[in-house]
Chains A and B, each alone.
Chain A
Amino acid sequence: MEREADVVVIGGGVTGTAVLWALAHYDLKCVLLEKEPDIAAGTTKANSAVLHAGFDAPTGSEKARMNVLGNRLYHDLEKELGLDIIWTGSLVTATTPAEEEQIKELKARGEANGVPGLEIWDAGRVREKEPNLSEAVKSALWAPTAGICWPFGIAAAFAENASLNGAEILRGATVTGIETEGGRVTAVRTVKDVIRTRYVVNAAGVQAGEISAMAGDSSFTIRPRKGEYILFDKTARASLVNGIVFPAPTKTSKGILVCATTHGNVFIGPNAQEVDDKEDTSVTPAGMDEIIAGAKKLVPNLPMGAAITEFAGLRAASSTGDFVLGPSQEVKGLLQAAGIQSPGLTSAPAIGQYLAEIIVKETGAAKKADYQPGRPEQPVFRELDDAGQAALIARDPRYGRVICRCETITEGEIVDAIRRPCGATTVDGVKRRTRAGMGRCQGGFCGPRVIEILSRELGVPVPEIRKDGAGSYLYIDKTGGTAK
């Protein structure tokens, strides 16, 4: 099918959806293309979920600028978009005199970057905040503006608000080519459509190098750097940490941290391993050993029996070492949002606004007169008080049927997750929007029920329901001797 747009955003991660959200404030026809069945399917779904204060990146870098601005924007947007953020603050711990020097340097750098409220805490104050930390911790850098968030929820909030304001999100839309004429982009081809457009924003994560090259700009490449994680049950929280605890950073990463999540769990990780395969999100025994050893330096008594899952994500590290942001030098109409590794999540709204402003300036597009802030209400049964729960069930009895028993998620919430703008189409899509299947039994009990509800609500046969990725079918066949 042939379509028209002013801007095509390639990539439905937190960067792409934030760009779409920023563009949706203006009179521009915008289309986002995501190759997977759901948004936030790449780096956004597997990272440390930390909103960084902004002291890590070198002063003057895009990373530093976007981080500090993005952090501030999240403080402003939290309420309007109903974002799942807890401003825990973060600690970077030091165990040796050299590391104590290092955190003082970080503090100075942070101050130069414009990070407010940085303090060096002594061991006593650190342990008051985090009593389970190693005796070896001598002092720490405290950053009060850091926080933890639910990255999928943030991408979903951007996507839902953009959808509400007329932006189109096409999923399962793998880009196969970008057409140019006289050095300017004219169209994007996908497996399904041709979209005529004046602007293309490249937010394709680990694939951003290939997408840029499709348009004729090969000025950078992306090398994925894998990070592995272990997630702990909520019951282990009391023996771990209350907030975000980093070791002193290494050259390639901020190190293996021990960090709370907005859902009440704690994770340890990530390590940092360069990989060639841009789809290699496997976890390895060596990686697990590495992060366990790393985390033990911060919290010596790790409750390994309470580990509930492990996962890996890929950082989209660019060959330039910094974010690749703004208009391409080679192709007109192509804007890069590439090499977005940490602090990419924190930077997303700042990147969105920065790129939107460039396009708005060039096109002269006006602010939408009827822009709708926020997103549709999303009732969460378990968070309501007694009267609120009773009222919700009275309004819609499906909120009285608990489907996910571990997390107390009702049928009403699952139906809402499917029917929302940019709603769930997969079992993991339901999980990320509602938490159904995220608890102790990991979907053992509710999985088949969620499949049944998806099939009913989407009007597709049960065997066509997928777990997550394009080919992740859950059932191979019906029973009854048809299997060969």
Chain B
Amino acid sequence: MSGTYDIIIIGGGPAGLSAADSAVQNGAKKVLILERDREVGGILQQCVHNGFGLHHFKQELTGPGYAQRCYDMVKDRPEVEILVDTMVLEVRTDKTVVAVSPAKGRLELTAKTVILTMGCRERTRGAIRIPGTRPAGVYTAGAAQRMVNMEGYLPGKKIVILGSGDIGLIMARRMSLEGCKVQAVLEICPFSNGLTRNIVQCLNDYDIPLYLSHTIVAIHGRDRVSGITAAKVDEKMRPIPGTEFEIDCDTVLLSVGLIPENELSRGLGLTLHPKTSGPVVDQHRETSQPGIFAAGNVVHVHDLVDFVSDEAEIAGKYAALASLGQSPAVDRVIEVKPGAGINTCVPQHLRLGIEGENVRLFMRAAQPKRGVKLVITSGGETVLTKPLAVVKPSEMIAVDLPAAKTAALSGEISVAIDEGV
């Protein structure tokens, strides 16, 4: 607990643990993970279902199983110290980290580099302005998941879920398995915002109706939810008068999006991207502040934890190299811009050496499409194309740019969906 750390990692979820492991493998000698919860593992601890790890560990795991694998990689490493029940209050640009815990009191720690892995949080009722009363029984899906899977309590018995994000779909199945009746899942978009496998396994298998282009126009009940009014929406997502219908329920779960937790990033003055709501990063996940790295859902919300681990390993490696004074030389900076049909692209720029390097780009499509082509161009020239059978906003697209291609890049690149296939 003294001296300067090579790296302080803020957050002990899968991103923080994977970053720590990679950092040590790349030469870091003194790594500290600060975790605010009572245990490491992050939100995975409440995700008791399976389906994790197929890409990263080539094995199907539950959420806690995946968290355990991540923890196992670092727990016996003498280079890694973990403090739980410890909340970071401030990170400064000189890499001083201020934290508090009941056991250690107020701490001011210093490091050569910092990796931000705080994850994300759920959008709430207020953010989407649902009219009606304000009774008990309205929860975000993730909060309900914690109640059921970790606290051992049922938030209700007759459920309506607003939003078809993955947590909402998973909770539809979870509540059904607990003997609850899931009356409906309502989605304001004309398409689902969850993984296809979750629509099949969590709704279809349990005969739970999914109403696309529908939303809640009122929540009823004084002290506890007694029902909702649903309605169809038009193409501008406005409720269509006359289409209202009532659904009887005691609980409303909201699965209406996730937002990166960037309060510390904001305090640091990092450049944040308006669409991802996370810090702007290069391919090594270094932010706009030298020596401050970020990875996982704090950068952009992922749909698979496997990609979170991949991204955190990159951040861990380059934070380690930076702390050892071995950062690769930068010859030029190439901006990466989302083009037609692409909503977000991470990293937002490449800081390349003369030789170029293998770079993986992560993108989200703006609209669901079938039979399209992903096209990467630079200065009017096509750099790479990749046919894609299906693209949907809920499923992240990953594309690898080999070193031979990045070595040749000189100007801004654009990533777009070409529908004319």
| Chain A interface (Cβ < 8 Å from any Cβ of B) | 230-231, 279, 281-285, 287-288, 307-311, 386, 389-390, 393-394, 397-398, 400-402, 405-406, 408, 410-411, 440-445, 447-448, 451-452, 462-463, 466-484
Q: Is the CB of B153 within 8 A of A402?
A: no
Q: Is the CB of B157 within 8 A of A282?
A: no
Given A408-B87, A467-B135, 7 additional A-B pairs, CB 8 A? A231-B126, A400-B105, A402-B89, A448-B147, A468-B223, A478-B152, A480-B152
Chain A CB within 10 Å, residue with most, of B100, B146, B152, B178: B100
| Chain B interface (Cβ < 8 Å from any Cβ of A) | 36, 85, 87, 89, 100-106, 121-122, 124-127, 129, 131-137, 139-140, 142-143, 146-148, 150-157, 178-180, 217-218, 220, 222-224, 239, 250-251, 263
Inter-chain CA distance A400–B131, complex, in Å, is: 38
Do A282 and B131 form a contact, CB below 8 Å, given A440-B121, A470-B223? Answer: yes
Q: How far is the CB of B157 from chain A (nearest CB, A)?
A: 5
Q: Which of A282, A393, A483 contacts B154 (CB under 8 A)?
A: A483
Inter-chain CA distance A441–B152, complex, in Å, is: 22
Inter-chain CA distance A476–B179, complex, in Å, is: 13
Q: Is the CB of A408 within 8 A of B103?
A: no
Q: Is the CB of A308 within 8 A of B131?
A: no
- A-B pairs, top 7 by smallest CB distance, nearest first, are A309-B126, A471-B223, A402-B87, A467-B136, A397-B102, A472-B136, A475-B153
* Cβ contacts under 8 Å, A394 to chain B: 105
Inter-chain CA distance A431–B154, complex, in Å, is: 22
Chain B residue nearest to A281 (CB atoms) is B133
Inter-chain CA distance A231–B127, complex, in Å, is: 10
Q: Is the CB of A279 within 8 A of B155?
A: no
Chain A residue nearest to B177 (CB atoms) is A481
Q: How far is the CB of A104 from chain B (nearest CB, A)?
A: 38
Inter-chain CA distance A463–B180, complex, in Å, is: 17
Do A288 and B136 form a contact, CB below 8 Å, given A386-B106, A401-B85, A452-B151? Answer: no
23 A–B pairs (Cβ distance < 8 Å), ordered by A: A284-B218, A288-B129, A288-B131, A307-B129, A308-B126, A309-B124, A310-B129, A310-B131, A390-B105, A393-B106, A400-B105, A401-B87, A402-B89, A402-B100, A408-B87, A441-B140, A442-B126, A444-B122, A448-B150, A469-B222, A479-B153, A483-B178, A483-B179
Q: Is the CB of A483 within 8 A of B135?
A: no
Q: How far is the CB of A130 from chain B (nearest CB, A)?
A: 25
Q: Which of B101, B127, B133, B153 contacts A462 (CB under 8 A)?
A: B153
Q: How far is the CB of A281 from chain B (nearest CB, A)?
A: 6
Inter-chain CA distance A309–B147, complex, in Å, is: 23
Inter-chain CA distance A482–B143, complex, in Å, is: 21
Inter-chain CA distance A279–B220, complex, in Å, is: 12
Q: Is the CB of A401 within 8 A of B102?
A: yes
* Cβ contacts under 8 Å, B135 to chain A: 467, 469, 472
Do A393 and B100 form a contact, CB below 8 Å, given A448-B151, A469-B223? Answer: yes
Inter-chain CA distance A400–B83, complex, in Å, is: 13
Chain A residue nearest to B220 (CB atoms) is A282
Q: Which of A230, A283, A463, A472 contacts B132 (CB under 8 A)?
A: A283
* Cβ contacts under 8 Å, A462 to chain B: 151, 153
Do A390 and B155 form a contact, CB below 8 Å, given A471-B222, A475-B147? Answer: no
Q: Is the CB of A402 within 8 A of B36?
A: yes
